[in-house]
Amino acid sequence: MRRPFIAGNWKMNMTAESGTKLIEELKPLVKDANCDVALCVPAILIPAMVKAAQGSNIAIGAENVHWAESGAYTGEISCAQLKEYGVKYAIIGHSERRQYFGETDEGVNKRTLAALAHGITPIVCVGETLEEREGGVTEKVIYKQLKDGLAGVEDVTKVVIAYEPVWAIGTGRTATNVQAQETIAFIRKTIGELFCPKCAEKVIIQYGGSMNAKNCKGLMAQPDIDGGLIGSASLKTEFAQIVNYDNYFEN
């Protein structure tokens, strides 16, 4: 059985004060969750958020990481620097990084391999644009992202995959339960082909396109959806309702 995993992605939001306040509010609300819980926060907030989450079941992750051990990479952060603060996860290849900062599948691969080498779990994002979905090339696009982004990975079960349809990120639009399940089932099938079927059955695959308190229960009921990579809803206590999708919250 795959253990569900709900992770928040704060993007370029929150301050040390507001982030600490939110985590303090979330801690009692998610303490009995039947899933793993993480918040991926801006790099400058990591030390303060690690402190705020101390003693709770909320892990702190990063929103990106560089592949080099050190060097002349102004503005970047290394795995060693993240590990020093106990960071457990790093989002890699988010569509906003690809769209606004020119990140490529090759870069995703290098970051993924570096994270794994340092014991950081990479949350590798894949997904298609609206044009690609309407053009019928969703599977072709995602297959390439997986093949190139995971090249050289020895144990794919140590990687989390986040399917994030680009057309559903920050737009309020969400893939239907059927659309999300079909594409994530394809992702699992592809991982089985690239690695092995047994490995694919163990890989955690999240849905990352505007999951919120209203739609999480239906999405999480799908057989291949193991969690969510949550954007705007992770900036408020609504995040706890998503984490507890199987408990007190009713859709």
**Lowest-pLDDT range of 42-56, 158-172, 202-216:** 158-172
Residues 29-38, mean pLDDT to the nearest whole number: 97
Angle at 162 between CA 178 and CA 126, to 5 degrees: 90
Q: At what angle do helices 138-149 and 105-117 cross, to 10 degrees?
A: 40
**Lowest-pLDDT range of 77-86, 149-158, 241-250:** 241-250
Of 63, 96, 128, 164, the active-site residue reads: 164
User: Do residues 33 and 228 lie in contact, with contact meaning Cβ atoms separated by under 8 Å?
Assistant: no
| % of the chain residues with pLDDT over 90 | 91
Whole-structure pTM value: 0.96
Report the alpha-carbon distance of residue 109 to residue 189 in Å, rounded. 20
Of 94, 96, 128, 132, the active-site residue reads: 94
The pLDDT value recorded for residue 167 is: 84
Which domains, ranges and CATH numbers included, belong to the chain? Answer: 8-243 (3.20.20.70)
Over the stretch 35-73, which tens digit does the pLDDT of each residue have?
999 999 999 999 999 999 999 999 999 999 999 999 999
The pLDDT value recorded for residue 168 is: 80
Over the stretch 82-111, which tens digit does the pLDDT of each residue have?
999 999 999 999 999 999 999 999 999 999
What is residue 211's DSSP assignment?
A: -
Instruction: Identify whether 94 is a catalytic site residue.
Output: yes
Instruction: Identify whether 164 is a catalytic site residue.
Output: yes
Residue 28 buriedness (CB in 10 A; 0-12 / 13-18 / 19+): exposed
For residue 120, the SS3 value is coil
Q: What is the mean pLDDT of the chain?
A: 95
Over the stretch 137-148, which tens digit does the pLDDT of each residue have?
999 999 999 999
